[in-house]
Amino acid sequence: MDNEDEGGFQETPVSGKHYEWQLSDGHQWLKIDNDHVIETHYCQPGAKGITINTSHGPVFIDFDKLQTHNTGLNVHRLSFVPQGQTQDVGWYFRDDQLWREYGSQGSTMLSSSISSRDIEHQFTLNPQGAFTFTVGSTSYRLDFSTMTQTNCITGLCRNVRRRPKFTSSTGSLYSTLVLPSASSSQPADGSYKWEFMGDEGEWTEYQAHICSFDSTAIETQYQLNPQGQLHFKIKRYSYTLDFPRMCQVNNQIGTTRTVRRTLNYGNQQNSSSSTMPRWQFQDIGGIWKDYSKGYRHCSISSQDIELQYQQNPSGIMKFTAKNFSYELDFSAMTQRNLSTCTASQ
């Protein structure tokens, strides 16, 4: 297994990116095309890994261990720290429902006495060490070697993750230590697009002339608090955009719409979309078809399945299509009709 940042170069690549993902079959390290897709997933604390298509076939990258599930294939992530900048890293713990960043305050939780920056400082001093901190009157021990947090009173143990933070500026993973110049602006390439599922089963981008927030404004609020909510109005209705649940709720009538956040690479969008994982089922005629919202009134899309799969690769996901309920088993890679008890691939 090759750990993150081992063998990193000293200078930023010509592409301007501050990271690079590479695979090796034991002979040489080769960069992975369109590795922004990997990086986007890696920066999400809830993502355990990602499956990519390569010349070796499908390869699953485990983000926690930074290794592949393929015999003979190694993976590592190089990072490049430009002069005058430092890596912006988030530290997260898994509570009963979500991955939460240290220092943030949940709806029923006290904020911890430390922040991601505090933990990163301790980690830099001793990557295999441990230290204690408090939340209210309770002490906790954070162990870097096992990436766990333990309640010193009850012994309850929770998993911990360290992930870089993805900013919308050219895919940069670093925060500037000096004040940015007044001419700094957000480029179109590498920005994020926020969309909701419309009535016709199509994704619709938030637009400023319709909604009080557009994609750029929503992304700014998301970066400030990925576990928070955003309130806005469209015509006479008020809505709540829930970031952890990735949904939009009409506060008057209670209807809920699915929301998604995707990279907007301009002209590169079409070339990079082919690297995104596709989920398919085998139809009655033996033809493989994509999961798609709206098709046969299916309640999920490939992206919905992939997000759930990244959270729990051995779990189960339920959905509906027409008048039937289905169960998608990730470990068995089968779909089962709960109404008729028939299974298919």
- Domain positions in the chain are 19-79, 89-104+111-164, 192-263, 280-344
pLDDT of amino acid 188: 36
Do 89-104+111-164 and 280-344 come out as alike in CATH topology? Answer: yes
- Per cent of the chain over pLDDT 70 is 74
Q: What is the CATH number of domain 89-104+111-164?
A: 3.30.720.50
Q: Residue 187 — very low, low, confident or very high, per pLDDT cuts 50/70/90? A: very low
Options 3.40.50.360, 3.30.720.50, 3.40.50.9100, 3.40.50.1980; CATH for 192-263 is 3.30.720.50
CB atoms within 10 A of CB 153: 10
Distance, in Å, from the CA atom of 11 to the CA atom of 21, rounded to the nearest integer, reads 15
Q: Where are the alpha helices (DSSP H) in the chain?
A: 36-42, 116-125, 215-224, 269-273, 302-311
Answer yes or no: is pLDDT of 107 > 50. no
pLDDT of amino acid 184: 28
338 or 65, higher pLDDT: 65
pLDDT of amino acid 198: 73
CATH 3.30.720.50 fits 280-344, yes or no: yes
Answer yes or no: is pLDDT of 13 > 70. no
Answer yes or no: is pLDDT of 182 > 60. no
Answer yes or no: is pLDDT of 3 > 50. no
The mean pLDDT of the chain is 76
The 10s digit of each residue's pLDDT in 31-49 is 988 888 888 888 888 888 8
- Which residues have C-beta within 8 Å of that of residue 235, sequence separation ≥ 6? none
Task: Output the CA–CA distances (angstroms, integers) from residue 62 to 22, 69, 77, 158, 259, in the order listed.
Answer: 14, 7, 12, 19, 26
